[in-house]
Structure formats: C-alpha cells, structure tokens
Structure 1
C-alpha cells in the first residue's frame, strides 16, 4: 500500500471515530431530555390509578318487613379499581347490615370468585351456602337484587351481574327467581 493510501485510511478512521464520538455525545445530551419529556405522563397515570382513597358506596339489604330493599352507606379505603371495590361490596353484603336492616346473604356464604367481563358484566361465584335455608320467592328476589343492585349501582364498569353457584350456572337460588342470565339493577325494589 502506498503512503498516500495509509494516509487516506488514517483520515477515514479518524472521521469514523469523530462521527461516533459526536453520536455518543449527542445521545447523552439529548437522550435524557427526550426521556424526561415522556416520563412524567407515565408515572402520573400509574400513581393516579393506584392511589388509595376513601370510597363511599351503597349496600342493599332487606328491610325488616322483608318486602323491599333498603340502602346502607359504607365507606372503605380502596384504589379506584372496580374489581377490588366489587370484592369489598360482596364481602360487606356477606357480613350483613350494620343498622336495622335484615341480612340477604347467609353468613356462611363464601365468595369463590368474582370477575368483570365485557360488556360490563360482573360474574359472582358464591359457595352453595348462598342458597340458605328454604325461603320464599320474596326473600329470594331480595337476595338476588341485593347483589345485583349493590354492584351495578356503585360501579360504573358494571351494568349487569351473573350469579354462579359453586362455579356453575344455576336456574335459581331456591326455586323462584331466574338467575340463568345476567341481571340488571331493579331500583323499584328499593325503599
């Protein structure tokens, strides 16, 4: 190789090194600025959705005469998460009323599973104890709509509720009210 060829190779290597250095320096000085301008949106969205807040909701229990539902307001600390709030609502229904209302779900009942599907339907799977002792049509109606109203009225992401027993679809709880399809709230039962 000629001396002139060695000089051109050296110039080429020097130019490539200088270009690489410029790219590295450019990315160091502009990279954090670009990342900084994008990152404030992401953490804020995550923090907002996970922030714990006091959430008020209404539970529907049977009135003493057992002909209508009556509401009872409760407050819990929760992230604004429809699934988490749904679980707390069902747990509170199973625990029973705090004031003069009557329980609608037997105390021995367990929530086996709860999930929210599209389009806006909550699927609530209870243990067999939800059937309780033999009860009439009016008591069964109030049990079903205690669950449906408590979820659908309080949680915008839920429009209807499907009730399962031991993981299976059932026609009724105890022979009277059809629960084979998702149900929407019935506020005419509330006094």
Structure 2
C-alpha cells in the first residue's frame, strides 16, 4: 500500500516539474503558419490630354499626348493642363512657354478662359513674332482640345490686362483657337476645330 502511494507521489512530482517549466504546454501546440498579406496599392485615376508645343521641323504647332491626374472640375483641369505646358514637351518638340512662368489664377466665362500669369511669362518669352504667336495659340488650342466648350483665351499678367506679350500678337480682344497653326503630318491625329453654334438673339 505504501509502495502504491509512493508511486503516485512520484508521478505527481514529475507532472508538477513539467508544468513549471512548460506552463502552457507550448511544445504540443502546432506552430502558427505566417500568412503573407499583399496589399495592392490603388493606381491613381488618370486622363489623357493633348498638349501643343512647337514643331522643330516647321513654324507650326504639333501635339503631344500625356496622362495627367483626373480632376474633379474644369477649373482644376485647366490649371493642371497649363502646368504641363509650362513643364515643356517630353518628346523632341519645342517648349512654347518659359519654364519660369507661373499660373496665378484661372477664370471661366462661358466659352472664354482668363489665365493670369506672373511677369516671367513676358520677361522670359523669346522675342519674335513666330515665338509669340505659337505661345499664345499653344495655350488656347490646348485648352480648346481638352475642354470642349472653351474656344477663346484672355491673358493677364499679375492681375492686369495686357495689350500684347512682346509687341506682336494683339491681346486686347480674346484670342480664338486656330488649328490651322497645327502641323498636320504628325503620327498623333490632330484635334479638329469644332464649330460652336451661335445662339440666336431673341
């Protein structure tokens, strides 16, 4: 009988020692498999726009397509498009606006857009009739190609009206889009000028 109680006491002692050194019995638990979670980053929504720059092989404009971030309204789109024009071409085309030009404000009035730039637009613009003509029409043609109802452009410099940039193109009246200044022999199809119906006076 005493031998039986001694045996039970020995078993209990061994079990107690095991509990002290392995209180949660982790050796018998299977190791948790690590699961790799791959989080896909959402790609920003973009839209393609048409920009007009100088053609190095002719005295005309040529168009370049480029993606920009999708914009919620036309005002934001115009600001983004003009910034891309100022940034310059990504191909062999020729810049039409000074890199120092800064867009200060945008106004939309029916088919007319008013762009207000800093003084660098005038100061850093290359002199010459052709340069000035292409710069102005690169702006208005680009806007007309991407914002369907925009047909005319007014340029301001630091909040004031100007008569011309460098003495050649008359800016006292809004400048209309003119796609006859676009080189037609490019790989990218040229956006055609769309006639806007004139409302009949009542």
- For the criterion TM > 0.5, the same-fold answer is yes
Q: 1:133 to 1:56 in 2, by over 3 A?
A: closer
**Offset from partner CA, 1:106-155 (integer Å, 9 cap, x none):** 001110111212x2211100111111255110110000001110111210
The whole-number CA distance in structure 2 between the counterparts of 1:148 and 1:55 is: 19
**Offset from partner CA, 1:21-61 (integer Å, 9 cap, x none):** xxxxxxxxxxxxxxxxxxxxxxxxxxxxxxx8421110000
Q: Counterpart of 1:92? A: 84
Q: Counterpart of 1:165? A: 157
Task: Report the TM-score, using the length of structure 1 for normalisation.
Answer: 0.69
Q: Counterpart of 1:139? A: 131
Q: 1:66 to 1:163 in 2, by over 3 A?
A: farther
**Pairing 1:149–2:114 present:** no
The whole-number CA distance in structure 2 between the counterparts of 1:105 and 1:66 is: 18
The whole-number CA distance in structure 2 between the counterparts of 1:107 and 1:98 is: 14
Structure ID, larger Rg? 2
The runs of 4+ residues in structure 1 deviating greater than 4 Å are none
- The structure carrying a bigger helix percent of its residues is 1
Q: Which runs of 5+ in 2 are unaligned?
A: 1-43, 184-202
The whole-number CA distance in structure 2 between the counterparts of 1:116 and 1:184 is: 14
TM alignment of 1:1-191, pairs within 5 A: 53-65=45-57, 67-117=59-109, 119-131=110-122, 132-191=124-183
**Offset from partner CA, 1:52-94 (integer Å, 9 cap, x none):** 8421110000111461100000111213521111011100011
Q: Which runs of 5+ in 1 are unaligned?
A: 1-51
1:159: how far off? 2.0
Is the contact between residue 104 and residue 143 of structure 1 (CA under 8 Å) also seen in structure 2? yes
Is the contact between residue 56 and residue 94 of structure 2 (CA under 8 Å) also seen in structure 1? yes
| Two-structure CA RMSD over aligned residues (Å) | 1.5
The whole-number CA distance in structure 1 between the counterparts of 2:52 and 2:90 is: 12
Q: How many residues align?
A: 139
Task: Report the TM-score, using the length of structure 2 for normalisation.
Answer: 0.65
The whole-number CA distance in structure 1 between the counterparts of 2:59 and 2:111 is: 29
